[in-house]
Amino acid sequence: MAKFEGKSAIVTGGGSGIGREVCLLLASKGAFVSVVDLSEEGGMETVRQIEEKGGKAIFVQADVSKVEDVKRYIEETKKAFGKIDMFFNNAGVEGAVAPIAEYPDDAFEKVININLKGAFYGLKYVIQAMLENGGGSIVNTASNAGLVGSPGVGPYAATKHGVIGLTKTATGEYADKNIRINAIAPGPTATNMMERFTKGSKEAEAAIKEGIPAKRYGTPKEVANLVVFLLGDDAEIINGAVYPIDGGLTAL
């Protein structure tokens, strides 16, 4: 069984959804957790829940699309816990829903900045920190939209394809440096992001579920279980992999 006691982790987007569940699960296993989020309210709530159960965590407010914020969340984590053993590179936004020819330019910029630039900057500077302490484990959040075409969310799909490309490339560059880098590709999951995507429409939700072989959304806890497994030593031979977790949606 993987040991997490005394290890430290950074989780971006840790103030809600999948990110929060990963924070809570890591802390429950004894890891020190740096909760990174743009939302102070959400991030502090995650810290509160961790501390309520006897865990140790800090909150760092950051915009992952800004290099200085990325450097700061890394430095704050090192200051608090000494090193970085694990990184869940997770923060992202869904963007607008529109065909490419009608997609708003400002929405495109926002999605690219957070989902792709943010993922790249996180990888770049966390890898530098991990090289200093002899290695580590990284999980990037892609999406089932990074594996197939996704009409209506072209920029989102493009960023998630990009995250998978970064994952595989970084593996080739750093696997021999004791750094493991994998990606998850969640399908529809019961988070606030999906609620925003469907705009609260029960009809839209039912239509999405009907298209999933499992006929339901995944849960943040189910995704968190996979992430924490990949971050831990039980997965030490797994590197450069992309794991769909989507009820069979991309299998067909």
List active site positions.
Answer: 156
Exposure b/e, 171-201, CB count within 10 A at least 16 = b: beebeeeebbbbbbbbbbbbbebbeebbeee
CA distance 134 to 177: 7
Half-sphere exposure of 233 (CA within 13 A, CB side): 9
Residue 248 gets the label, from left (phi > 0), alpha (psi -120 to 50) or beta, of left
Question: Alpha helix locations (H) across the chain?
Answer: 17-28, 40-52, 67-81, 105-111, 118-132, 154-174, 192-198, 202-210, 220-231
Q: Tell me the longest C-alpha to C-alpha distance in the chain.
A: 51
Whole-angstrom distance, CA of residue 56 vs CA of residue 81 = 10
| Distance separating alpha carbons of residues 75 and 128, to the nearest angstrom | 12
The tokens of 247 are what? 């009820």
Contact 91, 13 (CB under 8 A): yes
